[in-house]
Structure 1
Amino acid sequence: MQAILDGDGAMVRESAEPEQPLTGGMVNTVVRVGDTVRRTAGPWTPAVHAVLEHLERVGFDRAPRALGLDDQGREVLSFLPGTPADRPWPEVLRTGDGLRQLAEMVADLAVALASFEAPPDAVWRSGGVPRDGRRVLRHGDLGPWNTLWDGDRLVGLIDWDFLEPAPELWDFAQLAWFAVPLRPEPKGWRTCGFAEEPDHLARLELIADHAGVSAADLAATLLDLQACDRDRMLTWGRAGIHPYDSFLERGLVAEIEAESRWLRDQLRLA
Structure 2
Amino acid sequence: MTATYTAGGPGGSGPSAPSFLQDDPHRPVVRIGDTVRRPLHAWSATVHELLLHLEAVGFPYSPRFLGIDADGREVLTYLDGESGGAAWHRVVADAGLVAMARLLREYHDAVRDFRPAAPAGWAADDGTFEVGELVCHGDFGPWNLVWRGDRPIGILDWDYVYPGPPVHDVAYALEYVAPFRDDRYSCESLHHPVPPDRRRRLETFAGGYGLTTVDGLVDEVIEQQRNVWRRARQLAAEGRQPQLAWQESGVLDLAGERLAWSRANRHLFG
TM-score (norm 2): 0.84
Query: Match for 1:119: what amino acid?
Result: A
Partner of 1:156: 154
Partner of 1:29: 28
Deviation at 1:264, TM superposition (A): 2.8
Q: What does residue range 87-236 of structure 1 map to in structure 2 within 5 Å? A: 89-90=88-89, 92-119=90-117, 121-128=119-126, 134-184=132-182, 187-209=185-207, 210-212=209-211, 214-236=213-235
Q: Which secondary structure state, in structure 2, belongs to the residue aligned with residue 126 of structure 1?
A: coil
Deviation at 1:187, TM superposition (A): 4.4
Do 2:206 and 2:214's aligned partners in 1 also have CA atoms closer than 8 Å? Answer: yes
* 1:194–1:141 Cα change, 3 Å: same
Q: What does residue range 35-114 of structure 1 map to in structure 2 within 5 Å? A: 35-86=34-85, 89-90=88-89, 92-114=90-112
Do 1:20 and 1:33's aligned partners in 2 also have CA atoms closer than 8 Å? Answer: yes
Deviation at 1:200, TM superposition (A): 0.8
Distance in 2 (CA, whole Å) between partners of 1:174 and 1:120 is: 26
**1:241 aligned onto 2:234:** no
Partner of 2:6: none
Identity in percent: 30
Distance in 1 (CA, whole Å) between partners of 2:128 and 2:227 is: 10
* 1:27–1:151 Cα change, 3 Å: farther
* 1:132–1:34 Cα change, 3 Å: closer
Distance in 1 (CA, whole Å) between partners of 2:87 and 2:61 is: 23
Flag structure 2 segments of 5+ consecutive residues without an equivalent.
1-14
Distance in 1 (CA, whole Å) between partners of 2:102 and 2:72 is: 35
Query: Match for 2:64: what amino acid?
Result: R
Do 1:22 and 1:32's aligned partners in 2 also have CA atoms closer than 8 Å? Answer: yes
Deviation at 1:218, TM superposition (A): 1.9
Q: Which secondary structure state, in structure 2, belongs to the residue aligned with residue 182 of structure 1?
A: coil
* 1:88–1:76 Cα change, 3 Å: closer
Structure with the largest fraction of strand: 1
Query: Match for 1:86: what amino acid?
Result: G
Do 1:67 and 1:78's aligned partners in 2 also have CA atoms closer than 8 Å? Answer: yes
Deviation per CA, 1:233-261: give whole Å up to 9, x if none: 33442343333212212323332232223
RMSD of equivalent CA atoms: 2.6
* 1:245–1:226 Cα change, 3 Å: same
Deviation per CA, 1:52-73: give whole Å up to 9, x if none: 1111121211110010110111
Deviation at 1:213, TM superposition (A): 5.4
Do 2:114 and 2:134's aligned partners in 1 also have CA atoms closer than 8 Å? Answer: no
Do 1:180 and 1:203's aligned partners in 2 also have CA atoms closer than 8 Å? Answer: yes
Query: Match for 1:58: what amino acid?
Result: V
Decide which moves more: 256-265 or 23-32. Answer: 23-32
* 1:142–1:26 Cα change, 3 Å: farther
Deviation at 1:182, TM superposition (A): 1.5
Distance in 1 (CA, whole Å) between partners of 2:126 and 2:235 is: 14
Distance in 1 (CA, whole Å) between partners of 2:24 and 2:186 is: 22
Distance in 2 (CA, whole Å) between partners of 1:134 and 1:190 is: 39
Do 1:140 and 1:171's aligned partners in 2 also have CA atoms closer than 8 Å? Answer: yes
Q: What does residue range 244-255 of structure 1 map to in structure 2 within 5 Å? A: 244-255=243-254
Deviation at 1:88, TM superposition (A): 7.6
Distance in 1 (CA, whole Å) between partners of 2:214 and 2:144 is: 24
Deviation per CA, 1:1-50: give whole Å up to 9, x if none: xxxxxxxxxxxxxxx92211114758621000111000001222221111
Distance in 1 (CA, whole Å) between partners of 2:94 and 2:172 is: 17
Do 2:108 and 2:166's aligned partners in 1 also have CA atoms closer than 8 Å? Answer: no
Do 1:40 and 1:74's aligned partners in 2 also have CA atoms closer than 8 Å? Answer: yes
